Amino acid sequence: MKGLKACWKVGWRVGVCALLLLWIFHSIFLNEGRLAAQSAGLDWQTLSRAQQWHLAWTNGPRDLWHTLCLTPLWALVSSTLVVGLALFGGVVRWRIVLEAQGLHLPLGRATRISLVAQFFNSFLLGSTGGDLIKAYAAAQETHHKKTEAVTTVFVDRLVGLWAMLLFASLMMPPNYDLLRASRDLAAPALVILAMLAALSVVLGLAFWGGVSKRFPRARHQLRRLPKGELLERALDSCRQFGRQRTFLLKTIAISLGLNGLWVIQVMALGTGLNLHIPVMALFVIVPIIFCISALPITPNGLGVRENLFVLMLAVIAVPRTAALSVSLLASAEGLFWSLVGGVIYMGLRDNEPLAEITHGHTEEADGK
């Protein structure tokens, strides 16, 4: 029964991902088929549905491949290095989160764990996802602060997301005219503002509390929940972040810099494809796309990200095929670093904590 439930949990997300990708590819290929029909002197409207789809799927993939091949090597290499630099910046931020709990993880070890987690985040869903592996590995680095170590992984993720939402929100005023002129940009912008407000409340309560003051029995009720003592200890560890004044300043500053790197990645790819994209527009469009595609809808955001790239870049006159190419290349560069994590994982010894958890030996961890 658990196996069927796990398969369903993964299957519906993979299905949604496939449908979204199929939909965006089909809509773009239809446009390419329409252009091919016009070049051949055919009236698109008089063609049957089968003829239209034949032209679309005959010309569309070829034109997309041609666009991808136009990307020069320097653009691919430089943007891939930018992605690696952004991932390394994420490692530095996580180490700051760990040190706020009195946990000291060597830079090399933290980088190794993060790359393996990146590998599993890209390929797997459910209980064997990258965050669980990262949390488990962090817990194995300490004997007396396992709960605190696990908490750092999720706090790091939430702070990074909050900073990205903040970055997108700060870039909205300079792009006000652009957002106002297009519903395709205005609607996602409102979603970003709502996400920022909601996550601000969550982090505020986690770091500084306030619920137990209004509801004195809140802590008592928390202890009665399954694993209540662990939840209470995790909450207390979150309070530790709130008591350190420089913690948020450091992590947010790093996160804002990382958001700039993600924009530079897209800029490099756009320049390589000879796309004339307003730089200021990218500073609001890219973080919006990354924030929304970070929602747990499809594996690694596939399908969602591609649709958003095509939809939002079209507002600034970027051809659909070119916008899809930028998205696919950006995803491929992330996949490259995931494969680096896969190579590291393949070289793990059987007795290493990462090897144990990724091979499914979680019973020992649950008992600790």
- Residue 91 is encoded by which pair of tokens? 């490692």
pLDDT score for 222: 56
Q: How confident is the model at residue 163 (pLDDT cuts 50, 70, 90)?
A: very high
Q: Is the pLDDT of residue 170 over 60?
A: yes
172-313-120 Cα angle (round to 5): 90
**For the segment 54-98, what is each residue's pLDDT rounded down to a tens digit?**
888 888 788 778 877 888 999 999 999 999 999 999 999 999 998
Q: How far is CA 276 from CA 179, 267, 271, in A?
A: 19, 10, 7
Q: Which sequence spans correspond to the domains of the chain?
A: 73-367
Identify the weakest region by mean pLDDT among 36-40, 141-145, 220-224. Answer: 220-224
In contact, 353 and 99? CB cutoff 8 Å: no
pLDDT score for 22: 77
In contact, 132 and 366? CB cutoff 8 Å: no
Q: Is the pLDDT of residue 357 over 50?
A: no
Taken in order 148, 151, 157, 161, the sign of the CA dihedral is: negative
Closest CA to 123 of 266, 289, 10: 10
Q: How large is the average pLDDT for residues 339-355?
A: 69
The CA distance from 208 to 220, in Å, is: 18
Closest CA to 160 of 72, 269, 248: 248
pLDDT score for 296: 67
Q: What are the helix (H) ranges across the chain?
A: 2-39, 49-69, 73-100, 107-123, 130-139, 146-170, 176-181, 183-208, 211-214, 218-224, 228-243, 245-272, 279-293, 304-313, 320-346, 353-358, 363-367
**For the segment 202-221, what is each residue's pLDDT rounded down to a tens digit?**
888 888 876 665 556 655 55
Reduced to 3 states, what is the DSSP secondary structure of residue 129?
A: coil
pLDDT score for 125: 47
Q: Please state the pTM of the whole predicted model.
A: 0.78
pLDDT score for 320: 85
Residues 6+ apart with CB under 8 A from 61: 29
pLDDT score for 177: 92
